[in-house]
Chain A
Amino acid sequence: MTDTPPLIDEAAPPKDAVPAAAFGIRGQTQFGDIRRRFFRNKLAVIGLTMVGLVFLLAVFAPLVAPDDPQAQNLSLTARPPSAAHWFGTDELGRDQLSRVIYGSRIAIVVGLASIVLALVLGVILGSIAGYRGGKADSVIMRTADAFFAFPLLIGAILIILVTGRGVVPVILSIGIFTWAVPARLLRSSILSVREAEYVEAARSLGASKWRIVTRHVLPNSLAPVLVYGMVSVGTAIVAETALSFLGVGVKPNVADWGNMISAGRAFFGFKDYLWEIPSLAVVFTVLGFVFVGDGLRDALDPRLR
């Protein structure tokens, strides 16, 4: 029994296999298919451009920003947009354009890091729950239910009250109160994939549990989780700015869109550009992620359109 050769070796194709290209057939991978469908979707491409632009601004903020975002000029406070200060200056005479540009750093870092944290937690716990089942499943899913009962903002506020304001607390608090959704999504899609014929085939060929989960089950059940992750980067950015807006986000002097909107609302009705411009930045970024997420969903599963 022990020296029976494996029936099929996925890694090495038979030696006499003729490459598909020899027949003039273009190789077509699943990933290539998805990419083609994604890039044919105009809104998705627009979204990707928007997200890419914000990303570039965040990376190259020191090169792009005309001014130091913290430099105050108390003789030039709350000035409307002008040639010297395109987006005007805030109540401490700081250049708004530079603060909006630097604000993209907080938005991108918090948005990506918190969702990566949530996805890592969600994928690990969700796949254990879905694949192991039994006791592990009920413990994990009831825990998820308990976390799910907290609205994101309220849960995040709880953590930040304990840890104090800052970028890391905001990332942790958003991640910790978001993981339950991807865990649920992954668990239910694993449950449907687990019984699929190709998984049964792999099992009957003697593949190890680890191999089955990482090679067969996860790749086929990750799609909803990835789509969720993409859209929720936008949600996380909204949550981050909302926390600043409520006074429990990143530190108040940091150049952050939520802080700017919060401070600018004091000038509602007469210096509206103070809150309108950072609001536009938030909407632009969040819409970008929503477009990309929607495009990804349609590309991954064309039946859903």
Chain B
Amino acid sequence: MGRYVVRRLLQMVLVLFGASIILFVSLFVLPGDPIGTAAGERSRDPAVRAVLEKRYDLDKPLPVQYLHYVGRVVRGDFGESYRLRRPVSAYLRTRFGATARLALGAIVLEILIGMTAGVVAAVLRYSFWDVLVTLTTTLAIGVPTYVGGSILQGIFAQKFHIFPRQGGSGSWNLRYLFLPALTLASVDAALVARLMRGTMLESLRADYVRTAVAKGLSKRVVILKHVMRNSVIPVITYVGIAFGGLLGGALITETIFNWPGIGLALYTAISTQDNPVIIAVVTYGVGAFVIVNLIVDLTYAYLDPRIRLE
């Protein structure tokens, strides 16, 4: 296990290194004029240019620029937001809570809805409920988040006034949390349901299940203790990875529901061309995804001893 952890850690460092190169290349090397963007008209003056190039490191060779950039990122220093004139990391820290709450809410819904639907569909295969689950999941996968969110707002907020349409301070107020969490969960819940149904059907055919039935265990015990326990591991993996993605901020859902998390910060930054914030959110999102992925893989290896750890 120890060697596996070390190997995975090394792999993670490699991935982060690659991702940072992609980020660096797309932001600094491809054509574009950061000085022009920052200074506007004044950038035509060569003296101003020289000062700004020095300040933003642009006069150094690229490898040096890259090392400086990585050094700053590792220390969590993303510079100052153009728009707010305050450090980006402090600003994003105030946004993290809202994103984490939304992610947790969405994950809970994904597990509850997805697993229930998947189990029902597998146990009652080819029944009305199975067909219903298949249809609903296909629909959920086909409806983009921004459409799904708008529809939920239209029905539950505009028409029946059950939930507020948008806003909330990003706190644990469930009335505000429910609609965005459901929007965010819809696609993944559908995928969890499909995955659960598939793995359940596979385990239902397994020899140990036939044995369990043959020795006279009740259907409930067989399903809960034998089938589900062995089908749940891929689902856990999937949900874990999805959680890593969610922690990076839900760009569209937060924008639609005006939910003050990291995704909304990114949206605001895109529409105001606040590059330091954009870079910080992307870096953070990629980091969160990679780290959660590692944790999931390690848990997976721990849960299922059959996985070879070489």
Contact = CB atoms under 8 A, between A and B. Distances in A.
Contacts of B143: 283, 286
A135 to B, nearest CB: 14
Contacts of A96: none
B29 to A, nearest CB: 9
Contacts of A294: 138
Given A246-B267, A290-B141, A142 B150 contact: no
A303 to B, nearest CB: 11
A269 B23 contact: no
A162 B26 contact: yes
Interface in B26-68: 26-27, 30-32
B19 A279 contact: no
A221 interface: no
Q: Assign chain A's interface to a size class.
A: 35 or more
Contacts of A145: 11, 14-15, 18
Interface size, B (range): 35 or more
Contacts of A205: none
Contacts of A269: 154, 158
Contacts, number: 114
Contacts of B17: 146
A60 interface: no
Given A158-B282, A268-B153, A143 B255 contact: no
Contact of B144 (A157, A238, A248): A238
A154 B285 contact: yes
A32 interface: no
A198 interface: no
Contacts of A151: 245, 248, 285, 289
B298 interface: no
Interface string A127-169: 0000000000000001101110111011101110111000000
B99 to A, nearest CB: 14
A299 B11 CA distance: 37
B134 to A, nearest CB: 9
Contact of B270 (A242, A246, A265, A290): A246
A261 B147 contact: yes
Given A154-B282, A158-B282, A162-B31, A283 B289 contact: no
Nearest to A290: B142
B116 interface: no
A52 B246 CA distance: 35
B146 interface: yes
Contact of B142 (A242, A248, A283): A283
Given A279-B151, A283-B142, 18 more contacts: A142-B15, A142-B18, A149-B15, A151-B248, A153-B251, A154-B251, A157-B282, A158-B23, A158-B282, A161-B275, A162-B30, A238-B144, A242-B145, A242-B146, A246-B255, A247-B270, A247-B271, A269-B158
15 contacts: A145-B11, A149-B16, A149-B289, A150-B19, A150-B22, A151-B285, A153-B252, A154-B282, A158-B22, A246-B251, A247-B270, A261-B147, A283-B144, A286-B143, A290-B142
